[in-house]
Structure 1
């Protein structure tokens, strides 16, 4: 228990360090808290002078007391504004810094992390959890300072006025706190619902997390970081506007109420209606006692607020402390030839005890097209995932142009590979921006159009209301499956990488579209090393080589005709598929 408590305080200490760069704003918030506490105490003490003025209603006293009431409330309002706004300023910047750091770490985490965590949970770290952390760093500190100083000031005044009555008040103080807490429950529930809209933050982060393979393969990390940073800045500024509005609303109302009370006192001090008043000390004491109810309730709620923030911080810091992808390679060629060699490669997923790939040996000369076929779960997609290092293999070695893939800088390695998967990832942007994504965003318009034409996408793009500038919606919701697939192929064509991976790339296409795409792919495969994963064997008959995989092993290797003649596993797959047709 003690160890857990110590860990909590370490986490809270780490959290408070994020407020350190904004020490000036924090200091101004502390000054505001001191002003607020002094004004709250002064407000209670002023009641004695009010009563004296009522008993001796000279014109000078009337002016003095009404001015003092407005002045005390105005001073309290100034303290409230300084405290609320500047602590919110610190809080918004802490949230902004945490969100950017968590997102940047997520972008750099290995594939296994995304396999083990649902995207919705990851997005909640950036939104809800970070917001909870902010409460612990800012609101809790504000309550401790402002309400704590107010309690000390009021209690000191009450003891000075009448220590015996103070003992009675201290005895019933907790009961007052319970009553006030019950009465304000509804208000607290409504207050908790008032938050900045996080829709855009969730949207951008969800896209980048869901499409992390496309982001990495096409060098979109910097673009996604900038897009997220810009949106997070916008949300921060919106939050500050809301904070300033809330911070100024309370003191304005308080000053208006003070003016109303001052007007009432002005009338009460007229000679015609004075008389029959309690002593100034008693009124001042009662005022101090009633004023203390709210700060007592607030201080008692601090521990729960800190614990909630610390729990969220454990989760947020857990992500930030995850090891990023291993990127200690130094080789960064501009363009490789594309020869691929696998030697005794074994691989297993982290959560599995058995290998998924067993002693894979494979030599693919530069420019050769190789098709991988086999039943679902045979290891085809896993094998091609090792090339761009989405996963690191346990043993053996994979080389490109006789250089181990681990010797490559990650960005340089992935720059050599274009990827088209069955599950197409599109971003809520224009068609042109989706084709020229990441490192491709500076490509000329003519090259984008040419890539779209080769992918047989231009024919439907030209029918769109804004052509290449048409927005595709969330993950391409405005497009059919075949259209989305053709945009992904156009993106790969535009990248013009020496190695091309097609993972069920024609699966979402109808027969006619598939025929067009097949022609385009045959054209683009020339001079490139191509790995094609296909379920429909008719799409890979022209491949230079066909590898048949079973249970993580390559069981057959040859051309279409050679494998049919061998009447082995490929022949059985072929017969099964075409007899079904």
Structure 2
């Protein structure tokens, strides 16, 4: 409980002056609300005094009520503005922090948490925090002030009648409290079911092509329907309780009116109360029902919010991959590859695997050199480049950028100078030019965009699109072919170049003529260093040197001609592509 309150206070204290203003206007709202019934009583009792005696008093009471009603409207509006705006600002800040935190996690986190679950946490759990820091805090102060001033006014008029009104309030509150506890339990279960449903939907939408190819629509529908029914069942239970609890709280005002009319009516008959005083007391009883009803809502909102905070804390309290590493100074970061790359006896295994994916890999890459990496499928080529670009963390002393150990560097520092175009291409649902300029997060420069489109062999194809560079590519680039997506991803890397460019099998989805053009342009305009993962001899024969990986080990290293003599895999691959001739 204390950790959750501390979590809330860590955000709300930044807006203390907003909340202070909201509290002051809320106090003014409550004071005006409990003062208006006094003038209602004066106005009604003035009528009993006759036309001559009471007309002036009634007119003053009506004008006072009118003025105070206007003050009440302004004060109530300002109190809500001053509470709601910090809630929204906290929501925005928390979502930004959550995104940065999630971006700092490694591969192991995303293996154990689906995208749907993460999205559900960001939407539902953070909304719970917003409700607490906005409307929740407003209601807490509203209830505190209302339950202080209103009962005091009622007690001053008639202690006995006040006790009569407390009894039904207490009974209803107990019933509502148990109902709210049941609702909270099922709300928690519904949130978990909603996370699972979100995960399934996102998974099925991403694999829509596979579902169509294997004609397994019915299976996907059944799996989605299974989770959907769970969400429906929990929602129905909540609705069932709410349909009983909410009318009970809504009818509390009517119950109190009946009690006050019965008990207060006897006081009027005995002349202990006037008609105006009875009306005033009824008005106080009506004012009392609102904070009591709000108390049940606040308890529910805070319990739901605390469940959400527990979920958020599991993310916020988790350490990112680079949290313990210091960021490099900007000048050191720009010179990170100036002395090249040294790999010394690199071995790597994933957190959930006992076997090493890479074993005893060693090589040097100097600035300006082009290195090729080749080998059978699944030998660790992508793992090797992910160690180089900082996505994976090798052990200390195994990978160096000049004199700096990569194990002690932050991943974002490494990726400022190392650009990677991977096999899994991701394009955002935006225009082509915005996808290309995404790496720098700036407004696209037309000249630079045109240059990188030409160098990535996309210029002619872009001209045939209806809107050219401003064509929307759809979610994950669904409007484009595999080769087009790969080349736009390459254009993105060329638009914001680093000192070392890594291409992971980027020629797999292009034709031979396009491949030749890309090779010529990449070798012509390369900056710093270039690493190409490929099994195509047309690429490997033009590099400065190549390494061959087999079974996670470096089995051969040298130029194209040297590897034809020393590596069986390299020679066999060459012979197959050349039609068996050397």
TM-score by length of 2: 0.72
Q: 2:327–2:413: 8 Å Cα contact kept in structure 1?
A: no
| Cα 1:111/1:327, change in 2 over 3 Å | farther
Shift, 1:501, TM fit:
0.8
Secondary structure of 1:393's aligned partner: coil
Structure 2: runs of 5 or more not aligned = 181-201, 207-272
Query: 5 Å matches for 1:324-343?
Result: 324=320, 325=322, 326-329=325-328, 331-334=332-335, 336-337=337-338, 339-343=340-344
1:415 aligns with 2:416: yes
1:48 aligns with 2:41: yes
| Cα 1:528/1:155, change in 2 over 3 Å | closer
In structure 1, distance between residues paired with 2:521 and 2:489: 13
Shift, 1:455, TM fit:
1.6
Q: 1:346–1:395: 8 Å Cα contact kept in structure 2?
A: no
Shift, 1:167, TM fit:
1.9
**How big is each residue's C-alpha offset from its partner over 1:38-65, in whole Å with a ceiling of 9 and x where there is no partner?**
2332244444324312312432133123
In structure 2, distance between residues paired with 1:443 and 1:334: 26
Q: 1:148–1:299: 8 Å Cα contact kept in structure 2?
A: no
Q: Report the equivalent of 1:138.
A: 134
Q: Report the equivalent of 2:276.
A: 280
In structure 1, distance between residues paired with 2:492 and 2:71: 62
| Cα 1:540/1:121, change in 2 over 3 Å | farther
| Cα 1:400/1:285, change in 2 over 3 Å | closer
Count of residue correspondences: 482
Q: 1:348–1:356: 8 Å Cα contact kept in structure 2?
A: yes
Among 78, 98, 101, the residue aligned to 1:102: 98
Secondary structure of 2:508's aligned partner: coil
TM-score by length of 1: 0.72
Q: 1:129–1:312: 8 Å Cα contact kept in structure 2?
A: yes
Q: 2:371–2:545: 8 Å Cα contact kept in structure 1?
A: yes
Q: Report the equivalent of 1:269.
A: none
Among 284, 305, 309, the residue aligned to 1:313: 309
Q: 2:505–2:534: 8 Å Cα contact kept in structure 1?
A: yes
Q: 2:176–2:296: 8 Å Cα contact kept in structure 1?
A: no
Q: 1:177–1:294: 8 Å Cα contact kept in structure 2?
A: no
In structure 1, distance between residues paired with 2:128 and 2:538: 55
1:486 aligns with 2:487: yes
Q: Report the equivalent of 2:427.
A: 426
Query: 5 Å matches for 1:260-409?
Result: 279-324=275-320, 325=322, 326-329=325-328, 331-334=332-335, 336-337=337-338, 339-401=340-402, 403-406=404-407
1:63 aligns with 2:59: yes
Q: 1:33–1:146: 8 Å Cα contact kept in structure 2?
A: yes
Query: Relative contact order, CA 8 A, sep 6+: which one is greater?
Result: 1
- Superposed CA RMSD: 3.8
Q: 1:16–1:137: 8 Å Cα contact kept in structure 2?
A: no
Shift, 1:155, TM fit:
1.6
In structure 1, distance between residues paired with 2:6 and 2:493: 47
In structure 2, distance between residues paired with 1:542 and 1:457: 23
Q: Report the equivalent of 1:547.
A: 547
In structure 1, distance between residues paired with 2:153 and 2:13: 34
Q: Report the equivalent of 2:13.
A: 20
